[in-house]
Amino acid sequence: MFYLPVNPVVLACPAKLNLLLAVTGRRPDGFHELVSVVAPVALADTLTVEPAAEFSLSCDDPTVPTDGTNLVLKAAAAFRTATGWRGGAKFTLAKCIPAGAGLGGGSSDAAIALKALNQLAGNPLAPDALATVAAGVGSDCALFIAGGPVVMRGRGEKVERLPEAVAARLRGRRVLIFKPAFGVATPWAYARLALRNQGAVKSQGYQTPAQAEKRLAAFVSAVETGAGLEGVLFNDLEAPVFGKFVALPLLLEHLRHRFGLAARMSGSGSACFALLPDGAPVAGITAAVRAEWGDSTFVAEMTLR
């Protein structure tokens, strides 16, 4: 008999930031190989899960699909296949993470749905098995099963925790996240990167695996020694995305000149972020971002988790 609690399960679905994202090539299945340092942030959706006869999903954002194309319901179907559990659940999603941002909102929702279902079903899957199911749902999903700052490899399904001393130094770091009104589609961004790896501009495409691991080692060393991270933050998807969406690099350059911030893009964008030094004039930076991108720009000060 499976354990079904009377009270709904209410869980936070955190966003993520790619502090380092090096892409090393395209796989035969169309996905890309990468090495990435990813940290969750305090920004989060909220997922309420209640036992029900079947799976269903509602959302407070009318632009979010609530049919079988949503990753939450894909995760539920994958969980049923993996466990044979015949129960159901009513999912209610409150969105705070903007879409098309490179912040992993949909992947996080799916991963946390898997955690909730595992709890409802009496924990039939150990964490490693749950992460395997998550990886089958989406490339970024497994990192949210692990939690905390991690290194992702493969297409994102291979997740390794950072050394605790390194993770501890990252947790609590203040960060400003800002996203313009437009989003960027992840498949488009990777396709543009693949094109840059062809012909005369091939050198502007993929990293070699050795280069990616060297960047990772430099990142870890900078955190361990307390050196500034500005020189080791990196994202291979910036070049192809910035080539089309020029408002992104123009703002980042403005923030560098005016405030000394080494702002970067997260994932495939369009959200960007800047680690905030002590005493950073957050109100002034926020005003500068909105002056460039408009009053509708999403801006939030958060901490890494």
Asked if pLDDT for residue 19 goes beyond 90, the answer is yes
**95/108 same-domain check:** yes
- Asked if residue 100 and residue 76 are part of one domain, the reply reads yes
User: Is the per-residue pLDDT at 203 higher than 70?
Assistant: no
> Does residue 160 sit in the same domain as residue 224?
no
* Residue 177 covered by a domain: yes
Query: Is 260 inside any structural domain?
Result: yes
Q: Based on the fold, state whether residues 180 and 106 are members of the same structural domain.
A: no
* Together in a domain, 288 and 253: yes
The answer on 163 and 15 residing in a single domain is yes
Give the structural domain span for 202.
Answer: 172-303
Q: Which two tokens stand for residue 119?
A: 């709890």
Active site residue 214: no
179 belongs to the catalytic site: no
pLDDT for res 6? 54
Looking at 152, 167, 182, the residue that finishes a domain is 167
Q: Are residues 203 and 266 in the same domain?
A: yes
Specify the pLDDT at position 227: 85
The residue annotated as part of the active site, out of 74, 95, 109, 140, is: 140
Given 16, 95, 115, 179, which residue is catalytic? Answer: 16
Mean pLDDT of 71-88: 97
Per the model's pLDDT, the better-predicted residue between 3 and 158 turns out to be 158
Say which CATH number the domain at 180 has.
3.30.70.890
Confirm whether 3 is domain-assigned. no
Query: What is the model's pLDDT at position 3?
Result: 43
| 97 and 63 within one domain | yes
**pLDDT at residue 133, rounded to an integer:** 97
The per-residue pLDDT for range 243-284, each reduced to its tens digit, is 999 999 999 999 999 999 999 999 999 999 999 999 999 999
Which residue, among 265, 263, 274, has the nearest Cα to 244 in the 3D structure? 265
Mean pLDDT across the chain, nearest whole number?
A: 93
Residue 147's pLDDT is: 87
Q: Is residue 197 situated within a structural domain?
A: yes
Q: Looking at the structure, do residues 98 and 185 belong to the same domain, yes or no?
A: no
Reply yes or no on whether the pLDDT at 201 is more than 80. no
Is residue 228 included in any domain, yes or no? Answer: yes
Q: Which of 139, 167, 195 finishes a domain?
A: 167
Dihedral (CA of 128, 68, 30, 41) sign: negative
What pLDDT is recorded for position 198?
Answer: 75
Same-domain check for residues 33 and 134: yes
Q: How far is CA 68 from CA 50, 90, 103, 214, in A?
A: 18, 14, 22, 41
CATH number for the domain spanning 49: value is 3.30.230.10
What's the domain count of the chain?
2
Whole-number pLDDT of residue 265: 98
Whether 291 shows a pLDDT value over 70: the answer reads yes
Q: Is the pLDDT of residue 5 over 80?
A: no
DSSP character for 304? Answer: B
Residue linked to tokens 């354990």: 3
pLDDT for 218-238, tens place per residue?
Answer: 999 999 998 888 889 999 999
Judged against a pLDDT cut of 60, whether residue 202 lies above it is answered with no
SS3 at position 73: helix
Alpha-carbon Rg of the chain, whole angstroms? 19
Domain boundary among 113, 134, 167: 167
In this predicted model, what pLDDT tens digit does every residue of 126-147 receive, in sequence order?
Answer: 999 999 999 999 989 999 999 8
Mean pLDDT, residues 172-195 taken together: 95
Does the pLDDT at position 79 exceed 70? yes
What would the pLDDT profile of 24-57 be if each residue is shown by its tens digit?
Answer: 999 998 899 999 999 999 999 999 999 999 999 9
> 76 and 155 in one domain?
yes
What pLDDT score does 200 carry? 46
State percent of the chain over pLDDT 70.
Answer: 96
- Give the pLDDT score at 2: 40
CA 303, 264, 98, 188 torsion-angle sign: negative
Asked whether residue 79 is assigned to any structural domain, the reply reads yes
Q: Number of helices (H) and strands (E), helices first, in the chain?
A: 10, 11
Assigned domain for 1 exists: no
Residues 179 and 147 in one domain: no
Handedness of CA 248, 253, 258, 263 (dihedral sign): positive
Is 57 part of a structural domain of the chain?
A: yes
In the predicted model, what is the mean pLDDT of residues 109-120? 96
